[in-house]
Amino acid sequence: MDRILIVDFGSQVTQLIARRVRESGVYCEIVPFNRAEKAFGEMNPKAVILSGGPNSVADIDTPRAPENILSSGLPILGICYGQQTLCAQLGGSVEQSDEREFGRAMLEVKAGSPLFEGIDADEIQVWMSHGDRVNNLPDGFSIIGTSENAPYAAIADEARKIYGVQFHPEVVHTPDGAKMLQNFTHKIAGCKGDWSMAAFRDKAIADIRAQVGEGRVICGLSGGVDSSVVAVLLHEAIGEQLTCVYVDTGMMRAGESEQVVGLFRDHFNIKLVHKDASDLFLGKLDGVSDPEQKRKIIGGTFIDVFEEEAKAVGGADFLAQGTLYPDVIESVSFTGGPSVTIKSHHNVGGLPERMNMKLVEPVRELFKDEVRALGQELGLPETFVGRHPFPGPGLAIRIPGEITEEKLEILRKADTVYLDEIRTQGLYDEIWQAFAVLLPVRTVGVMGDSRTYDYVCALRAVTSTDGMTADYYPFSHDFLGRVSTRIINEVRGINRVVYDITSKPPGTIEWE
């Protein structure tokens, strides 16, 4: 399999380079610059991409590309900081420019470079974000593209197949950027483009069999995309050696448990333990209103229940987890310092050690959208593959304050109506996450001739690419009006509906 090595100099968008390269059908990995020398030797890539980064090449002690890469004779593409360090290291020079260029710029393309093959315009839009710029080319290089403030915006040594661009081809604001990256991986580096989900599936199955042997594997199934894909993949690989455990915390949405059992046990024929622990969770949460305490109680109780169920089926040698690539990429941090915990996330961390199990993480090389594609490849229905994320603590963090069975029931009904309207209007796939929240506030209303005194329901819907930042979804007033009318008419206990128009930051997606 052809591979590309991406050397990370700390740009915010390095992951996007990897995604674009993989979309071009070529496998790639991201490695921080200070580990790149060793990784290059181990990985045997067909080409190297140097990412952007926050530093200035003009400062002393800023990161550099390893010498073994520069002298390897392989094709290299430097992006932004990557271009500048390439230039400085190969004998050119870089200056701190007075005309900093951020945002959209027009690139005048000089004909003839394979990097721009198939791009049929003399001028194209590109995304710039830099303070420094090249002002003297190394020997062998020529200019293949210029912009108003960056005369050396795209440069190449075509004989050595070394390229540098000052703009970011990996972001969507460079509309032809994906084509340039594909030209680099296919035309320049000669990759075949045979990385696909079908190929991944076969390799993952072989790897799982090799790792697990005759061992037994236990997998916590939540009904979310990642654990569903992992479960089906493992089942294909090792069949009866796999047992899945689905813990119903009582904080699930309407019909969720039935769907999970129906799909995995009845349809896929996977050994599945369905543990209804809702009374236990509700009991422990009784009278608790602090968000962090709720999360801790649910996380802790989940682990206890999971462990008990794992023991009840006779234990296992391995625990399967849906760890994704963004969780394992070592990030380059120039700022250091501890980050603040905004919310403690719920997972089964600590369990493998406690139960003396090893980990199986078959999708740790994949991005979320690749996991979805793998799910399709494995025959998971669209309703599972395209699902919005649902947090481990479930509806508990969508009911600020104390949780009661009555409130959970009211929220389930409102959430069902809301999502039903979203699906009916064909909006589900445009939205990252949409859900209803039940506020611990009662307000006065009038229905028919009577006064009501009921709860307020808040609706949340956001767009996002990774959940780290988010914008509220701009529903039409018509749509919001219809959902509000339906919820108030159909859900007893709610007499007022509001729409949350907070972005993240400063808000978070969930309310707790």
Interface ranges with ligand XMP (CB under 6 A): 343, 345-346, 389, 391-393, 433, 467, 504, 508-510
Q: Using DSSP, state whether 481 is helix, strand or coil.
A: helix
What stretches of 239-363 show up as alpha helix (H) in DSSP?
256-260, 278-285, 291-312, 325-328, 351-354
Closest contact distance (angstroms) between CB of 508 and ligand XMP is 3
Pick 369 or 406: Cβ nearer ligand XMP = 369
Closest contact distance (angstroms) between CB of 265 and ligand XMP is 23
Pick 66 or 393: Cβ nearer ligand XMP = 393
Pick 103 or 506: Cβ nearer ligand XMP = 506
Mark whether 80 is an active-site residue.
yes
Nearest Cα neighbor of 244 from 298, 316, 300, 302 is 316
Q: Which residues make beta-bridge pairs with 455? A: 442, 494
DSSP state of 21: H
Six-digit token string for 267: 């349809």
Pick 178 or 509: Cβ nearer ligand XMP = 509
Q: How far is CA 455 from CA 326, 404, 440, 472, in A?
A: 39, 13, 7, 23
Closest contact distance (angstroms) between CB of 324 and ligand XMP is 12
Six-digit token string for 477: 């007033």
Pick 154 or 434: Cβ nearer ligand XMP = 434
On whether the CB atoms of residues 375 and 225 are closer than 8 A, the answer is yes
Q: Which residues make beta-bridge pairs with 359? A: 319
Mark whether 130 is an active-site residue.
no
Closest contact distance (angstroms) between CB of 42 and ligand XMP is 33
Q: Considering the candidates 80, 191, 219, 457, report the single residue annotated as catalytic.
A: 80
Closest contact distance (angstroms) between CB of 125 and ligand XMP is 32
Six-digit token string for 163: 């390229």
Six-digit token string for 454: 């009921």
DSSP states of 152-213: TSEEEETTTTEEEESS-TTSTTSTTHHHHHHIIIIIIT-------HHHHHHHHHHHHHHHHT
End-to-end CA distance of the chain: 44
Pick 97 or 464: Cβ nearer ligand XMP = 464
Pick 265 or 504: Cβ nearer ligand XMP = 504
Closest contact distance (angstroms) between CB of 223 and ligand XMP is 12
Q: At what angle do helices 368-377 and 225-238 cross, to 10 degrees?
A: 50
On whether the CB atoms of residues 33 and 65 are closer than 8 A, the answer is yes
Say whether the peptide bond before residue 393 is cis (omega within 30 degrees of 0): no
Type of residue found at 165? V
Closest contact distance (angstroms) between CB of 499 and ligand XMP is 17
The answer to whether the Cα torsion of 15, 16, 20, 23 is positive or negative is positive
On whether the CB atoms of residues 8 and 31 are closer than 8 A, the answer is yes
Six-digit token string for 428: 């589900």
Closest contact distance (angstroms) between CB of 133 and ligand XMP is 37
> For residues 512 and 508, what is the distance between their CA atoms, to the nearest angstrom?
8
Pick 12 or 344: Cβ nearer ligand XMP = 344
Pick 34 or 508: Cβ nearer ligand XMP = 508
Nearest Cα neighbor of 26 from 8, 10, 46, 52 is 46
> For residues 482 and 422, what is the distance between their CA atoms, to the nearest angstrom?
11
Q: Considering the candidates 130, 168, 186, 235, report the single residue annotated as catalytic.
A: 168
Nearest Cα neighbor of 430 from 471, 487, 483, 374 is 471
Six-digit token string for 300: 């802790």
> For residues 196 and 189, what is the distance between their CA atoms, to the nearest angstrom?
18
Q: Considering the candidates 170, 309, 421, 512, report the single residue annotated as catalytic.
A: 170
Residues recognised as catalytic: 80, 168, 170
